[in-house]
Structure 1
Amino acid sequence: MLYSTRTAAEKRAALRAELATGRLLRLPGAFNPLSARLIERKGFEGVYISGAVLSADLGLPDIGLTTLTEVAGRSQQIARMTNLPAIVDADTGFGEPMNVARTVQTLEDAGVAGLHIEDQVNPKRCGHLDGKQVVDEDTVLKRIRAAVQGRRDQNLLIMARTDIRAVDGMQAAIDRAKALVDAGADAIFPEAMRDLSEFEAIRGAVDVPVLANMTEFGKSELFSTTQLANIGINIVIYPVSLLRLAMGAAERGLDTIIAEGSLNPVLGEMQHRADLYELIDYAAYNAFDEGVFNFTVEK
């Protein structure tokens, strides 16, 4: 009932322990708190909070228009609704090194288990679009050092994302990944790898966990969990997938109203009210205070 039964500190420690096993952790992107609860119900190991999804949810493109306040607020809503650890996209850190440290503490207060800071020029672009620019090495290393220094819970996972592969090539990505680890990054997120061998090259270059982004319609192939696990990838995210599925279904439903005048043809595609009530645990609220909730769910 209500929110997570695990504290943020417990979830951070759990994420660290899971990463230490070396197995692949699957983190679908939650587009709202309810979808985070569904991700947990289905047995995944964590929840990802995508900057692209947060932007899209506001009707905005993913070009650095969201604010720290917006990201932290949505992160808190999602993280507190699940016992799973949540990792959030912190873009470029929302400013210079001191701002990055504040970003880390603000997101720490929001209850996330980890976050990633990237090396794009601000305002950034979606990692799978052309025309990206990255900052010089000194600038991004200052961002990561500030992030590491800013955290108060040492179990908060500070991940460094690099977009340099699309700008300067694969060797530059390997070199930057190594430098980011030396600066204190707990994990590496190499964005827009072209094929499995490129992920494998990053995996072989660093001794910290590596994340693979399996976003649809991007630069990377959609590799299976088996393929990623076989080369030693530790985290795989599906950042926008649930939003795309939901919006696709919503569009088809609206088209059905226009074409048929009723949603009867697509009732079988909808989540039943009974399933929704089970997911949000209406029964527990009813038991807590029958004076507020007293009803029977119709089957």
Structure 2
Amino acid sequence: MAKKARLLSLKEQLEDKNRIIILPGVFDALSARIAEQVGFDAMFQTGYGSSAALLGMPDFGFLNAGETVDNARRIIRAVSVPVLVDADTGYGNPLNVWRLVQDLESLGAAGIFLEDQIWPKRCGHMIGKDVIPKDEYLPKLKAAVEARKSKDFIIVARTDARAPISLDEAIERGKAYKKAGADVIFVEAPRSVEELKRVADEIDAPLVANMIEDGVTPTLPAQELLKLGYRIAVFPLSALYSATYAMREVLTELKKTGATKETRKMMVTFKDFNRFVDLDKYMNLEKRYT
């Protein structure tokens, strides 16, 4: 039997400068298993999706640290590939960030996104957001860097300064956050391809591009982002939006007609789903102890 190849950490994947890491957004254990099964080498636990799935509420500062950590625990246990966790603003001061990093690293998370928005924060593509002063964010970033036990745990420093201040300010913050120890820089919500290119030209660091369908940033294919100079392409809401669409369509038909005949094409079969969640594995395990 051929030996199974060792899974690369997210840090190791970043070392290959000829590829871009595509991170699908996942919001629960099931979506994470689907992402792994179709072949992704890593994934992103989205705060937007987690707020929607856990609370039925928007990404508007309602999600708390405990809910984020609990969701991370379920997602990380469900898959074998690296999971990068959206930690929002760290849910408090530098000590809260320090504890959050320790909690997530102990669960096996591959790293975090840590942003500089004022709490309560909101999705980076919504209007009305604001950022804390750079000198207030840097201690939180320092706490995150010092709290981790392994350099394989990646700290992604995110700035939302583009919208409330300027692109110049966002770029300057990105440079400062890299100098302070962040592994990856994420300038949220550039408004054009030209702005995406300028960020990549001026910040000497591995960069994240956030691809939200119908968001304020142009949605580009991952290979185009790689050519611009980006190393990670996050598609945080693609799975959430598609799952929501399919469920709405199926349930609408069921409500109207009392059947699901026309929308069966949007469903997996009973047998396929049981196979997907490894039912046979657990039935065999049950037999061992019966």
Fold conserved (TM > 0.5)?
yes
Q: Which residue does the alignment assign to 2:29?
A: 33
Q: Matches of 1:234 and 1:32 in 2, distance apart? A: 25
Deviation of the 1:278 alpha carbon: 2.1
Corresponding residue for 1:263?
A: 260
| TM-aligned CA deviation for residue 204 of structure 1 | 2.3
CA–CA separation in structure 2 for the residues paired with 1:70 and 1:110 = 14
Cα separation, 2, equivalents of 1:207 and 1:219: 24
- Matched residue pairs, number? 285
One of 33, 52, 67 as aligned partner of 1:56 = 52
CA deviation after TM superposition for structure 1 residue 208, in Å? 2.4
Larger mean CA deviation between 29-38 and 201-210 belongs to: 201-210
Q: Offset at 1:283?
A: 2.4
Q: 1:228 aligns with which of 221, 225, 229?
A: 225
2:105 counterpart residue number: 108
Contact 1:73 1:110 in 2 (8 A): no
1:139 pairs with 2:136: yes
The whole-number CA distance in structure 2 between the counterparts of 1:187 and 1:260 is: 51
In structure 1, the partner of 2:41 is: 45
Unaligned runs of 5+ in 2: none
Q: Secondary structure at the match of 1:290?
A: helix
Q: Closer, same or farther in 2 for the Cα pair 1:291/1:265, shift >3 Å?
A: farther
Alignment deviations for residues 211-253 of structure 1 (CA, whole Å, 9 cap, x no partner) = 1111122111111112112112111111122111111111111
**Mapping for residues 168-247 of structure 1, pairs under 5 Å:** 168-247=165-244
Q: Given the two structures, how large is their TM-score scaled by the length of structure 2?
A: 0.93
Alpha carbons 1:104, 1:151 under 8 Å: kept: yes
Residues 163-203 of structure 1: per-residue CA shift (max 9 Å, x gap): 00111211111111000001110101111111222222222
Alignment match, 2:15: 20
Counterpart in 2 of 1:121? Answer: 118
1:69-122 Cα deviation digits (max 9, x unpaired): 110000110012111111111011111111111111111122210101101011
What residue in structure 1 maps to residue 281 of structure 2? 284
Over 3 Å counting, the alpha-carbon distance change for 1:292 and 1:267 in structure 2 is farther
Question: What is aligned with 1:297?
Answer: none
Aligned partner of 1:224: which letter? P
Which residue identity does 1:39 align to in structure 2?
Answer: A
State the alpha-carbon separation in 2 of the partners of residues 79 and 40 from structure 1.
11
Aligned partner of residue 204 in structure 2, secondary structure? coil
Q: Give the whole-Å Cα distance in 2 for the aligned partners of 1:202 and 1:160.
A: 14
Deviations 1:33-89 (A, max 9, x none): 121111111111211111111111111221212111110000110012111111111
CA contact (8 A) 2:48 2:123 kept: yes
Task: Name the CA distance, whole Å, in 2 between partners of 1:232 and 1:41.
Answer: 28
- How far apart are residue 289 of structure 1 and its match? 3.6
Given the two structures, how large is their TM-score scaled by the length of structure 1?
A: 0.90
Percent identity for Structure 1 against Structure 2? 37
Query: For residue 93 of structure 2, what is the aligned residue in structure 1?
Result: 96
